Chains A and B, each alone.
Chain A
């Protein structure tokens, strides 16, 4: 989808990065060295590399980590239909600021991405921006209505990276069975929003003591496990590739763990907010902590971390879901779900490294090569020949999340005012710098 190259834009598509701690989760490399980029591709990784041919930028990256750019497999950028919440321009700017170089966008747009034309429209709009690479998902059902299959084959051919109805679960078991079976013909990936809709109906937060006290209706944890378990039976029957989006409960994580042990082609993803926050955030009817699936109990948050550590959960995705103020400044039950997250996903997730739960390489794997492989993208590696989608970051640098500091148009972060560690210094796509952080007062 991306054409690479950037010379015509007058910026160097070639550079030599020296003195960086090179982190490549695909190979397990973690050492100080040099990396050479020529014409948007990596042409050398090692020591004492010859400089690139022609004009190039020399980047002294001592003290910083150099890793593949992040691959965020779940986000929404508002276009088309919700331009007042986010635009592709602001979305990719936010992604670049967060160190994301490839992003997969959900089809829950208006009109939805249930037609090859809409898919190509979005891909084209994103290409024009010449920034972060954008890969559209395609709807699994026509109009995201959950009744008839969308044109999966045609959209696959048009470049859809996977199929999903976004934040709507496929409720009909027969339809899900057929979707899974049909997708096997081109080995398509089916992504499910794990929630049994009738059990979750009317629910606005996690089921439990806090919901009971606040007088809000709860979504039971088992609503997630029931949907996952149902689907796993269908996956076993059809042999399809199945991915559980934003998993949030110990019960469902356990179901995935067992399915993996049985050899099913199942993967799962968690969000930074589900690994970092629990339902206590909702206290005081804080609508900025209203997400779908809801923030869960502390035991469930701990299970998400455990799932990431033991490999049951393969991917961390931002689930960036921009909402304007008017959609959030409402009574809790009426407020929209969703939080922005592309800009904070790395810093929030790094908490697992700082707490000693995971190594830096293991964490990065879940945000680079793992989602890239799932979606079939040529991304997420520091390999010679790979596109130079790179980030330079300081994993320890502290900063405070603030609405004003976010690049996204929507400001609905669940981390407002929190101190996090991990700052992206530079983001490169095909060797072009699309984001560079400069310390305050240094200009």
Chain B
């Protein structure tokens, strides 16, 4: 199967969106589209990945992403093992590379890795023979999140090219923002970054995004409002004076949303801090909010990634 460009995704790992070509992104999204229907059936299970082992290696807490990858693997028929490494071996002094080589010796076919340090997944990928999917590394990238966001947008709006997307909040620390920035710009959307200057590095302009420190101006006429999660510990005087002030200036409320296009879509990677970055009323507005769609698309996108990355392996078998 190949995308509209007639070419397909042929990489060993999915470590980030940066550097992917439009046809590669389109190929992943097209394949994911098919899996959306599959996941809505009563019998969701396929045997595409039968016999293959998928290890979800999470160095950082995550329920949603891990569950999403677990379901995706299981629906494709893979054997899925979850490993949470916070504390356990790391406390015993095992390094990331030791962990990688240990796992490698167990012959997994796909490794899904989340790590709290930027670049850690790439480092690990250099020491294993199987395909590696980055499920989030520090403040660097979270490629499957950007892909599921793109799929959500494409299904709701029919396209990505030409849309104006506002990414709002803690851009500085957000891997979701970085992956989305790369993907949206690659696919021909316009990207605005909105947030307080302490959380919005000016150097982001270099990638081709427009920066807004006033949320109302930033949302003016946009098609998509993408909210980011703000870590609570960053709001007690270090980056932002208080939660109250942040919500007042950068929380997504009906009032601020009114500046966007009337049919603008609201997105959030979850988990939400209601009353901090987003008003509960807005988040729950079924006409505007695509937040639950994103969760659904997440499973489909991860199925597509697992499928595509293991293809060479299955063909060789």
Q: Which chain A residues have a beta carbon within 8 Å of chain B's beta carbons?
A: 207-209, 211-217, 284-285, 326, 329-334
Q: Is the CB of A331 within 8 A of B115?
A: yes
Partner of A214, one of B95, B115, B119: B119
What residues of chain B lie closer than 8 Å to A214, measured between beta carbons? Answer: 118-119, 140
Q: Is the CB of B206 within 8 A of A334?
A: no
Q: Which 6 A-B pairs have the closest CB atoms?
A: A285-B119, A215-B139, A215-B140, A331-B117, A215-B118, A331-B120
Q: Is the CB of A331 within 8 A of B97?
A: no
Told that A215-B137, A332-B117 touch, could you supply 7 new A-B pairs with CB distance under 8 A? A207-B203, A209-B203, A215-B175, A217-B139, A285-B118, A331-B115, A331-B123
Give the Cβ gap from A323 to chain B, nearest Cβ, in Å. Answer: 14
Q: Is the CB of A330 within 8 A of B138?
A: no
Cα(A209)–Cα(B208), bound, Å: 12
What residues of chain A lie closer than 8 Å to B178, measured between beta carbons? Answer: 213, 215
What residues of chain B lie closer than 8 Å to A211, measured between beta carbons? Answer: 203
Q: Is the CB of A333 within 8 A of B118?
A: yes
Task: Give A211's nearest chain B residue, CB to CB.
Answer: B203
Contacting residues of chain B (101-138) with chain A, CB-CB under 8 angstroms? 115, 117-120, 122-123, 137-138
Q: Is the CB of A215 within 8 A of B138?
A: yes
Give the Cβ gap from B27 to chain A, nearest Cβ, in Å. Answer: 24
Using a Cβ–Cβ cut-off of 8 Å, how many residues does chain B contribute to the interface with A? 23
Q: Is the CB of A212 within 8 A of B201?
A: yes
B207 part of interface (Cβ distance < 8 Å):
yes
Partner of A331, one of B18, B96, B204: B96
Q: Is the CB of B97 within 8 A of A332?
A: no
Q: Is the CB of A333 within 8 A of B203?
A: no
Q: Is the CB of A330 within 8 A of B96?
A: yes
Given A211-B203, A326-B95: A285 and B122 within 8 A (CB)? yes
Task: Give B119's nearest chain A residue, CB to CB.
Answer: A285
Give the Cβ gap from B162 to chain A, nearest Cβ, in Å. Answer: 24
Give the most central of B95, B115, B123: most A CB within 10 Å.
B123
Give the Cβ gap from B236 to chain A, nearest Cβ, in Å. Answer: 17
Q: Is the CB of A213 within 8 A of B18?
A: yes
What residues of chain A lie closer than 8 Å to B141, measured between beta carbons? Answer: 215
Q: Is the CB of A209 within 8 A of B115?
A: no
Cα(A284)–Cα(B16), bound, Å: 12
Give the Cβ gap from B233 to chain A, nearest Cβ, in Å. Answer: 14
Cα(A274)–Cα(B159), bound, Å: 47
Cα(A215)–Cα(B123), bound, Å: 15
Cα(A215)–Cα(B122), bound, Å: 13
What residues of chain A lie closer than 8 Å to B118, measured between beta carbons? Answer: 214-216, 285, 331-333
Q: Is the CB of B203 within 8 A of A285?
A: no
Contacting residues of chain B (182-230) with chain A, CB-CB under 8 angstroms? 201, 203-204, 206-207
Of the A-B pairs whose beta carbons lie under 8 Å apart in the complex, a sample of 28, sorted by A's number, is A208-B203, A209-B206, A212-B203, A212-B206, A213-B207, A214-B118, A215-B137, A215-B138, A215-B139, A215-B141, A215-B175, A215-B178, A216-B119, A216-B140, A217-B139, A285-B119, A285-B122, A326-B95, A330-B96, A331-B96, A331-B118, A331-B123, A331-B138, A332-B117, A333-B118, A333-B119, A333-B138, A334-B117
Partner of A332, one of B119, B175, B206: B119
Cα(A277)–Cα(B119), bound, Å: 21
Task: Give B207's nearest chain A residue, CB to CB.
Answer: A213
